[in-house]
Amino acid sequence: VPGAALGLTLLSVAVVVGLPGNAVVLWGCAVTRRRSVPVLLIFHLALADMVTLLTGPVYIRALSVGQWTMGLAVCRGCNYLCAAAMYVSIFLIALLALHRCLAVSRPVTTVVTAGDRAGQLAHGAAAVTWSAALVLAIPSIIFWQVKDRHCKRVHGTKAWLVVQNLLETILGWALPLTTIATGYGLLVCRLHQTRLARRGHTFRLVAAVVVAFAVAWGPYHVASLLEV
């Protein structure tokens, strides 16, 4: 099947490139002496990506054989981990955007959250983020079933489909991205006012990550809305 072959190719490339790439990021964040809030949040962001990519071989196997042969627990577990990682990623990117905004508009706050305090703050924020994501991903355990030899979402009623898709799109994409866009909009205004050109590189780097994430997840959420 052409669609399955394309999916198998793209997923294989993502796993082969993404796993070592994120491993390098994790290692770099772990050994760096600069324990800043952005570095530690990026560590957890790479960790979330690793969680998603580690489920890749399971989906590669399913695509290669053309059916789901690994049981209900693996079906629900993999989709639960992917959903949780999605929420973690977008929430952490939102936190990174807010931190960059504070770093420019409230430099004193950034100084206060440096050093050991930065580690406590970042890991605390990450812990709350992971906890919220694990709760929001619970519908993946409830609605994913093995049906007709495929792992797929099965809703008892149309209402549950609408509720899950809307909540997932609003909480996991639209609302966080609105927060990010607002934060960076204020940041751009502040940079323009203070002429802090040296911060432009950092802004472009993080903004590129935000745009890439929005584009990557956009089709998924558009498809979810069309399904409603």
- DSSP class of 197: G
Nearest to 121 by CA among 188, 196, 35: 35
Find which of 84-93, 195-204, 206-215 is predicted with most confidence, using mean pLDDT.
Answer: 84-93
pTM of the model: 0.82
Give the Cα separation of 19 and 13 in Å (integer).
Answer: 10
What digits encode the pLDDT tens for the residues 123-140? 888 999 999 999 999 998
Nearest to 78 by CA among 114, 50, 54: 54
pLDDT of residue 112: 47
Contact 11, 87 (CB under 8 A): no
Q: What are the residue boundaries of the structural domains of the chain, listed by start?
A: 2-227
Give the Cα separation of 24 and 49 in Å (integer).
Answer: 12
Q: Which CATH superfamily is domain 2-227 in?
A: Rhodopsin 7-helix transmembrane proteins (1.20.1070.10)
C-alpha distances (whole Å) from 28 to each of 46, 116, 175, 203 are 11, 18, 31, 20
Give 57's pLDDT tier (boundaries 50, 70, 90). Answer: very high
pLDDT of residue 222: 73
Residue 137 backbone dihedrals phi, psi, to 5 degrees: -85, -5
